[in-house]
């Protein structure tokens, strides 16, 4: 079965993120499409892994996974693609087979194949992909066995190494700075800008217990969408200069060429308060006017500072990669044995039934007349002996086969 296991992977290494986005399949359409694919191209098992910067297909098939197979694969799964599209994806996918495919998924779940080394989210994404594929009746015994071993290996990586201990994402670093300066969870948080960065940042804060949000954006509908997710309030950016509810934290990322938070606007936002405030400015160029930091009681967390910390932490994480690779190497060796033992178990499934059939034939046919002449006590003792021997005949071949395999 191991030799029939394949992976086709699309990541930031071989494809633009915009192209990877084209391979995502709406959740409501996944079961129908993937079931059709499995039947049409002859897959015994299938797992679909889809994240924001990765799409992978893990499958078991006895067919040769050559270029023609891959073309057929994508033609079936994405009927809306042109022939040129199909050829493009068929040429750019990284393909893995057998033990190399196992090594790949172990590396993915352990985060050393990620855009950001050490990101813990990937282990959850791998687990969820397996659960979803299993629920759609796409997976079987091999992928089940592999996924269990993969999750166990990834957990060991995160427990035994420092690969994920120091945050590297700007969002995570900004949150840790807020936590370090003991900002309370009921702090009044102003969000300026409703783009991807601020959306991720504010949702991260909400996840960790913050709950008082006001979102400003040039396009009010975008502010309303984000505010709805945060259970907060939405206002147009033009209302920033007249906002009178006060704040404790400002998170801003607009991409504007001029300073959004001028000294005049900042003074108005203070509404006379003099306690220390926090401004997390994730914009380049900065949204916060430079004189504000000099003239007011404010902790300014800039994207440049966060990026420097991120780069240093990334270097520290990279030092752990060798340790992770050693764990993966050991896990690969162990999986080979686990897979061999599982193949023995599957092959030996017939043994218990065969032994029971032989026992039944002996009692009911071959030695029936002899048994009928025995008294109750003798018959009871004989049945105990036969039952004992039956259990041993069932278990011993399995034990001996496992011992032979492990020695080789």
Q: In this predicted model, what pLDDT tens digit does every residue of 358-380 receive, in sequence order?
A: 888 888 888 888 888 888 888 88
Beta bridge partners of 398: none
Polymer length of the chain: 408
Distance CA 113, CA 98 (A): 18
Distance CA 365, CA 340 (A): 38
3-class DSSP state of 115 = coil
Beta bridge partners of 302: 281
Enter the tokens of residue 323: 């340790």
What number of helices (H) and strands (E) belong to the chain? 17, 10
3-class DSSP state of 255 = coil
Domains of the chain: 2-166 (3.30.460.30), 170-306 (3.40.50.720), 348-401 (no CATH)
Q: Which long-range contacts (CB under 8 A, 24 or more apart) does 234-240 make?
A: 237/192, 240/192, 240/216, 240/265, 240/269
Please count the other Cβ atoms lying within 10 Å of the Cβ belonging to residue 259.
19
Residue 167 CB contacts under 8 Å (≥ 6 apart), including other chains: 173, 176, 310, 313
Please count the other Cβ atoms lying within 10 Å of the Cβ belonging to residue 10.
21
Note the pTM of the prediction, 2 decimals.
0.65
Beta bridge partners of 299: 278
Regarding beta strands 5-11 and 94-97, do their DSSP bridges make them parallel or antiparallel, or are they unpaired? antiparallel
pLDDT for 16 equals 87
Distance CA 111, CA 113 (A): 5
C-alpha closest to that of 78 among 125, 129, 40, 131: 40
Enter the tokens of residue 84: 């040129």
**Cα 40 off chain centre by:** 28
Q: Where are the beta strands (DSSP E) in 260-399?
A: 277-281, 298-302
Q: Could you read off the pLDDT tens digit of each residue along the chain, which spans 408 residues?
A: 799 999 999 998 888 888 888 999 988 899 999 999 999 999 999 999 998 789 999 999 999 999 999 999 999 999 999 999 999 999 999 999 999 999 999 999 999 898 778 878 899 999 999 999 999 999 999 999 999 999 999 999 999 998 887 777 778 888 888 889 999 999 999 999 998 889 988 988 998 999 999 999 999 999 999 999 999 999 999 999 999 999 999 999 987 888 999 999 999 999 999 999 999 998 888 899 999 999 999 999 988 888 888 888 888 888 888 999 999 999 999 999 888 877 777 666 666 777 788 888 888 888 888 888 888 888 888 888 888 887 876 676 666 666 655 565
**Cα 37 off chain centre by:** 23
17-36: pLDDT as tens digits? 888 889 999 888 999 999 99
Q: Are 103 and 330 in contact (CB under 8 A)?
A: no
| Residue 284, φ and ψ in degrees, nearest 5 | -135, 115
DSSP letter assigned to residue 93: -
Distance CA 408, CA 174 (A): 53
3-class DSSP state of 211 = coil
C-alpha closest to that of 291 among 246, 258, 261: 261
Q: Are 61 and 39 in contact (CB under 8 A)?
A: no
pLDDT for 170 equals 79
pLDDT for 203 equals 87
């Amino acid at each position: 079965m191991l030799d029939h296991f394949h992976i086709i992977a699309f990541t930031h290494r071989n494809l633009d993120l915009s192209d990877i986005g084209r391979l995502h399949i709406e959740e409501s359409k996944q079961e129908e499409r993937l079931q059709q694919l499995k039947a049409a191209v002859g897959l015994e098992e299938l797992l679909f892994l889809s994240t924001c910067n990765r799409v992978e297909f893990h499958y078991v098939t006895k067919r040769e996974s050559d270029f023609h197979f891959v073309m057929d694969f994508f033609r079936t799964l994405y009927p809306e693609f042109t022939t040129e599209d199909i050829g493009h994806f068929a040429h750019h996918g990284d393909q893995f087979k057998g033990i190399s495919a196992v090594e790949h998924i172990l590396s993915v779940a352990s985060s050393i194949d990620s855009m950001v080394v050490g990101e813990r989210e990937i282990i959850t994404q791998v687990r969820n992909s397996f659960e979803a594929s299993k629920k759609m009746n796409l997976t079987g015994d091999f992928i089940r066995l592999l996924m269990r071993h993969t999750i166990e290996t990834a957990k060991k990586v995160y427990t035994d190494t420092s690969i994920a201990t120091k945050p590297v994402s700007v969002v995570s670093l900004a949150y840790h700075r807020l936590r370090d300066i003991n900002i309370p969870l009921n702090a009044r948080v102003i969000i300026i800008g409703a783009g991807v960065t601020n959306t991720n940042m504010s949702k991260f804060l909400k996840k960790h217990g913050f709950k008082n949000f006001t979102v400003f954006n040039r396009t009010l509908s975008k502010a309303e969408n984000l505010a709805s997710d945060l259970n907060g309030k939405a206002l147009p950016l033009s209302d920033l200069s007249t906002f009178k509810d006060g704040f404790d934290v400002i998170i801003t990322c607009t991409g504007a060429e001029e300073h959004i938070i001028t000294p005049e606007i900042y003074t108005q936002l203070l509404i006379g308060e003099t306690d220390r405030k926090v401004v997390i400015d994730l914009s380049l160029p900065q949204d916060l006017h430079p004189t504000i930091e000099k003239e007011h009681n404010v902790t300014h967390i800039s994207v440049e500072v966060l990026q420097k910390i991120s780069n240093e932490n990334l270097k520290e994480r990279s030092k752990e990669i060798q340790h992770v690779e050693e764990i993966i190497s050991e896990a690969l060796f162990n999986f080979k044995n686990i897979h061999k033992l599982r193949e023995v178990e599957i092959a030996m499934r017939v043994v218990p039934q065969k032994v029971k059939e032989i026992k039944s034939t002996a009692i009911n046919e071959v030695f029936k007349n002899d048994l009928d002449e025995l008294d109750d006590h003798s018959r009871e003792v004989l049945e105990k002996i036969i039952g004992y021997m039956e259990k041993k005949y069932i278990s011993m071949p399995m034990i001996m086969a496992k011992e032979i395999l492990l020695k080789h």
